[in-house]
Amino acid sequence: MVIGIGKQEAPRALGRWTEVALFFLAAPVAGAVFLPPNQMFGMLFALTLVGLGLLAITPGFRWGDLVQGWAALRPLPILVFCAIVLAVCVLTIRATRPDAEFFLIRQNPGLMLMIALLYPVLSALPQEIVYRALYFRRYGAILPGGMLGLVLNAALFSLAHLMYWSWLVLAMTFAGGLVFAWAYAVRRSFPLAVVLHALAGVILFAVGLGVFFYSGAVTRPF
């Protein structure tokens, strides 16, 4: 027997699909194509605020849900993850920009320390709220589940970084997105997703790959 969407549920599902199309597809692409690089972070901040608002009105969601799942933070797997990220980042920077390897640590350790302190709160946490908590809690019922769902989430997370117009940035954020989506959707731990995202980001900047995440270096291919 095929169970269809009820008459009262159809408008809600259509509305959710519209939100996904506008929020996760149209907005990042439009920003990357039409906004000047120095305005991109303003757009991302605005989208984060919209995402927080949408999450706040999502039926059944409570902000306290975001502090569940601390038991998933086990030291050994996290250390292994950090070691893998460090190795991949070092190999990548040596293959692409060897001149930038550990540049901040060598030339501006104060800035590197500031990034290490602020990145988890100002970047990793908001992104995880929008791309993991909002995505899976508000739209999980209408989007694919299982491995396909993780891949789709990672792809949309990668698309949010289209503004850098770098295949390397897209590849790195897709790989990271897979891990962070797994932490949230499979391990059911928002704290784990935030911690892994924060550690990956800090390692990335420490090694020198932050040169690819700098709006001043953005060059559009058109």
Q: Which secondary-structure segment (H or E) carries 130?
A: none
Residue entry with tokens 């095929």: 2
In a domain, 222, yes or no: no
Total domains in the chain come to: 1
DSSP 42-92: HHHHHHHHHHHHHHHTSTT--GGGGG--GGG--HHHHHHHHHHHHHHHHHH
Q: Would residue 193 count as lying in a domain? A: yes
Angle value at C-alpha 185, between 180 and 187, nearest 5 degrees: 85
Q: Which two tokens stand for residue 169?
A: 């940035």
Task: Please indicate, yes or no, if residue 25 is contained in any of the structural domains.
Answer: yes
What pLDDT, on a 0 to 100 scale, did the predictor assign at position 9? Answer: 66
Angle, CA of 165, 167 and 173, to the nearest 5°: 95
Instruction: Flag whether 4 is in a domain.
Output: no
Classify residue 172: in a domain, yes or no: yes
Q: Whole domain around residue 97: which residue ranges?
A: 9-217
Apex 77 CA angle, 124 and 92, nearest 5: 60
User: Is 3 among the domain residues?
Assistant: no
Residue 2: inside a domain: no
pLDDT tens, residue order, the chain (222 aa): 333 344 556 778 899 999 999 999 999 999 999 888 777 778 878 888 999 999 999 999 999 999 999 999 999 999 999 999 999 999 999 999 999 999 999 999 999 999 999 999 999 999 999 999 999 999 999 999 999 999 999 999 999 999 999 999 999 999 999 999 999 999 999 999 999 999 999 999 999 999 999 877 788 888
Asked whether residue 57 is assigned to any structural domain, the reply reads: yes
Rounded to 5 degrees, what are φ and ψ at 183?
-60, -40
